[in-house]
Amino acid sequence: MNLYAKLIISLSLFSGVAAGLLSLTFGITKPLIERRDREDRQNALKKVFFLQNEGGDFKLRPRELADGVTLLFEPEKTDQPLYYAVAGEGGGYNSSVPVTLMVGFTGPGGEAGKLLQGYAPPEKLPPAGAKGRYLVGFSVVNSEETPGLGEKIKDSRPPYTWKQFFFGDLPPASPDTSTPFQRQFRGRTAESLQLKKNGGDLDAVTAATITTRGVLAAIRDAEEKLEATLSGSKQ
């Protein structure tokens, strides 16, 4: 057997072993990755719809309508969905990794103003009787923006004040851990979102305008996905 034949056989054996190890590794890690993805989505839902999470578990009954589009029902009812949860992406400062959000919208199951009570302040609630897709809020599923600047879109308030932390006999803090930047989107429609520098009334994250625009783009992307999904379904 000449040298070339030996090299070919050795390379074939090495490739076969490597492929087997990769297949084994994939088989082991795939369920872990899928479980982590489910947990990330569940946590994202809890952050957006925090009023439904008072018992520790996500109480709304989710049903996936399409990839990244989830309908949310009351557990004891089977009528129209109360809310929608949609994954949306937008380009931020880091062009290689999009800003990915879980965006909550009101559904056709009730008046938008009533569905938004506890989420948006009274002055931001839609007019009485209004129905449609208004923003409940959003949470950041993934982003790799500049630390200390663009990554502030992930910021959240601590679950307890310092007094509650040191004196545990005080009542728990509000389940809403969002920041002023995140809260300003609630009660709005996706098409109404504009930054102040563009003639709107939304504040950008300080020194991170590009990332903020990525957030707006992700919300609009989520709304477009929802519209496309509902146009092809009975819901």
Burial class (CB in 10 A: 0-12, 13-18, 19+), 38: exposed
Output the CA torsion 86→91→95→97 (10° steps).
-10
Tell me: the pLDDT tens digits for 128-163?
A: 889 989 999 999 998 888 888 899 998 887 766 777
User: DSSP 3-state helix, strand, coil percentages of the chain (rounded to 5)?
Assistant: 40, 15, 40
Residue 229: predicted pLDDT: 92
Listed residue (99, 74, 75, 77) closest to 88, CA to CA: 99
Listed residue (114, 96, 95) closest to 106, CA to CA: 114
Tell me: the pLDDT tens digits for 52-99?
A: 765 556 778 888 888 889 888 887 776 677 899 999 999 998 888 999
CA distance between the termini of the chain: 69
DSSP 120: B
Q: Beta strands of the chain (E only): which ranges? A: 61-66, 69-73, 83-90, 99-106, 135-142
Residues in CB range of 153: below 8 A, 6 or more apart: 99, 140, 143, 145, 181, 182, 205, 208, 211, 212, 215
CA 48 to chain centre: 8
Q: Beta strands of 107-167 (E only): which ranges? A: 135-142
Check pLDDT > 60 for residue 234: no
Q: What is the pTM of this model?
A: 0.79
Contact 179, 153 (CB under 8 A): no
Tell me: the pLDDT tens digits for 182-221?
A: 999 999 999 999 999 899 999 999 989 999 999 999 999 9
Alpha-carbon span 71 to 163, nearest angstrom: 38
Residue 171: predicted pLDDT: 66
Alpha-carbon span 137 to 49, nearest angstrom: 8
Check pLDDT > 60 for residue 108: yes
DSSP 99: E
Listed residue (179, 224, 216) closest to 196, CA to CA: 216
Domains of the chain, residue spans:
3-231
Residue 27: predicted pLDDT: 67
Residue 104: predicted pLDDT: 96
Alpha-carbon span 24 to 70, nearest angstrom: 32
